[in-house]
Structure 1
Amino acid sequence: MLPEVGSQVYIQSFKHDGSLHRTWAKGFVIEAGVRRVIAVTNKTWVTEADGRRWFTREPAICFFYPDHWYNVITMIRKTGIYYYCNLASPSLYDGEAIKNIDYDLDVKLFPDGRIEILDEDEYVQHGREMGYSEPLKHAVEKEMDVLIGKIKKKESPFNQKEIECLYHEYLELLHTTLQSSGSEKL
């Protein structure tokens, strides 16, 4: 099952123990295929597991993969494109939301090309507390290596031209959707 291009979807991230980790109130779907789903979040509410809520300030193009143990959020800021990569289970759409399980490790890519690996301590701690199996840890760690390789080679989605094209596509699709629905805001 795939979401419809031009539709809005809810995005949910869980932890290994089934608890809710983070939710995005809406993502505007600009691509929905068997290899990836791309949704744009722009000025939407994000709710953390502890109930804390915040509003996104800039557009972010989010890449969800059904066959990779990560998802990628590209934040378009005045100072450049920042990438935040969550090591997570493959994503799925169940008709209600795009869902995945967050496995703590994150890779951040800055506009200057600097790479930072985040939350390694949290990964070890949660692995102990929630009982991450050896095959699970192997899958997550292997995919982190794949992800870093893609970053270094500037492969999709780590290509600025691709992000610029997708952002332009989002703006056109949003405009068309707003015109056809007679709505002023999505």
Structure 2
Amino acid sequence: MNYPEIGQTVEIHSYKHNSKIHRIWHETTILDISDEVVIGANNKTLVMEADGRTWYTREPAVCYFYTQYWFNVLCMLRKDGVYFYCNLSSPFVYDQQTIKYIDYDLDVKVFPDLSYRILDEDEYHKHSNEMGYSLEVQEIIKQQLDILINMIETRRGPFAPGFAEHWYYVYKNRLLKR
């Protein structure tokens, strides 16, 4: 598999199942790479929606992309703690200096106390019918949601204590060296 390089700035492109662009994050700095994950971070980065609207992220975020799991995790560092936004999605691919994945609508919002809420179930069912998610994809999403919830509840991966803070520290130090 093709990977970005540590220190490289990349874009992140989220697509829908019908191959249409969903959202673009314009600058994320790659902090770490392994065969299982790519970790990046950004702060106040420009985001463009499919309809052309743009906005800037409000806080620093550490991005965690898996090569094998069907979800990715954004760790948002706020004054009152780390919030997590988890997208059920295809594993990422790296192409033309861009991390790309298919967003499968379901999201899990995780609060600093690691309580969580599953979001966008109506959108998932609507798009599942409209875009023809296969039974195989639907089963994968269901299984991956269970894996994600288990990771949250057992505080593994990006939900481990100090994870987001550590990678934000690495990000800030990398920026200072530029």
Q: TM-score with structure 2 length normalisation?
A: 0.97
Q: Does 1:74 align with 2:49?
A: no
CA distance in 1, matches of 2:21, 2:100: 10
Instruction: Tell me the amino acid that sits aligned with residue 160 of structure 2.
Output: N
1:163-182 mapped onto 2 (5 Å cutoff): 163-176=164-177, 178=178
User: What is the Cα-based RMSD across aligned positions, in Å?
Assistant: 0.9
- 1:160 Cα shift? 2.9
Structure 1 residue runs without a partner (length 5+): 179-186
Instruction: Tell me the amino acid that sits aligned with residue 134 of structure 2.
Output: S
- The answer for the alignment partner of 1:97 in structure 2 is 98
CA distance in 2, matches of 1:155, 1:95: 31
- The answer for the alignment partner of 2:89 in structure 1 is 88
Is the CA contact 1:81–1:160 (under 8 Å) kept in the aligned structure 2?
A: no
Q: Does 1:17 align with 2:25?
A: no
Is the CA contact 2:4–2:97 (under 8 Å) kept in the aligned structure 1?
A: no
- 1:113 Cα shift? 2.4
Of all paired residues, the percent bearing the same amino acid is 47
Q: TM-score with structure 1 length normalisation?
A: 0.93
- The answer for the alignment partner of 2:5 in structure 1 is 4
Question: Residue deviations 1:95-119, cap 9 Å, x none?
Answer: 3300000000000100122210000
SS state at 1:160 partner:
coil
CA distance in 1, matches of 2:62, 2:164: 8
Question: Which structure would you say has the larger Rg?
Answer: 1
Is the CA contact 1:74–1:81 (under 8 Å) kept in the aligned structure 2?
A: yes
Q: Does 1:57 align with 2:71?
A: no
SS state at 1:173 partner:
helix
SS state at 1:16 partner:
coil
- 1:64 Cα shift? 0.6
CA distance in 2, matches of 1:41, 1:160: 20
CA distance in 2, matches of 1:34, 1:158: 19
SS state at 1:28 partner:
strand
Instruction: Tell me the amino acid that sits aligned with residue 162 of structure 1.
Output: F
CA distance in 2, matches of 1:36, 1:112: 24
Is the CA contact 1:66–1:91 (under 8 Å) kept in the aligned structure 2?
A: yes
Structure 2 residue runs without a partner (length 5+): none
